[in-house]
Amino acid sequence: MDEPENRDRYSTQGIFWVPREARWSVLESNIDNAHLAKVIDDAMFVLETANPALEGILPKNYAHLSLDHHQLSELIALIGTIGLGDGSSRSKDILGRVYEYFLGRFANIERKGGEFYTPSSVVKLLVAMIEPYKGSVYDPCCGSGGMFVQSEKFVLAHGGKLADLSIYGQESNPTTWRLCKMNLAIRGIDGNI
């Protein structure tokens, strides 16, 4: 019998577990709650507790920021309109594509000190050139982890085994490091960053 609430079912497939109190439906149901930012912080804490790969990565300071409640509510409502959970969206990696979109937007706003976001088309070309069928992929300036995501896609597209690929990287910017860890966690990629 298929048990959708069986946490072990997800962890054995390399998918992180989202406890009920951290699910999107909880955030959406609290849109009118004056303490929505605290609800988001609590959800982040629960996600990290349930998924060691996310430990210390997710922001849990929304309640301490000077966020406009109306804008935060609108953002939750807007993101809620994106079809992330249906089969069609999952097969198209909608969550990953939305993540990459926001990374690109963030990079355009935050570009400073020589740091920049490498467009996915450039990363795809680099991966095609290095042909990481198996072995180690190391990125000394891994940014948001795009090289790792594309490397795993390359392996799958060429009939390889993900177990034959090891991911290693480093990133000096703590915010970008967290983005990389989240990017890998969202996609179920295990790496040493």
Instruction: Give the start-to-end residue ranges of the domains of the chain.
Output: 1-81, 84-193
- What was the pLDDT predicted at 85? 58
- What was the pLDDT predicted at 108? 60
Tens digit of pLDDT for each residue in 61-76? Answer: 988 888 888 888 998 8
CATH number of 84-193: 3.40.50.150
- Complete DSSP assignment for 40-71: HHHHHHHHHHH-GGGTTTS---GGGS---HHH
Q: What percent of the chain has pLDDT over 70?
A: 77
- What was the pLDDT predicted at 144? 85
1-81 folds as Ferritin (1.20.1260)
Asked whether this chain's domains 1-81 and 84-193 adopt the same fold, the reply is no
Residue 163 per-residue DSSP state? G
Does this model's pTM top 0.85?
A: no
What is the rounded average pLDDT of the residues 11-17? Answer: 70
Tens digit of pLDDT for each residue in 62-118? Answer: 888 888 888 889 988 888 877 655 565 555 566 666 666 776 666 666 555 556 667
Range name among 11-25, 38-52, 112-126, 134-148 with the lowest pLDDT average: 112-126
Q: Is 135 left (phi over 0), alpha (psi -120 to 50) or beta?
A: left
Beta strand 165-169 with 135-139 is parallel
Q: Structure tokens of 22?
A: 């951290």
- The b-or-e profile of 48-81 (16+ CB within 10 A means b, else e) is bebbebbeebbebebeeeeeeeeebbeebeeeee
- What was the pLDDT predicted at 158? 93
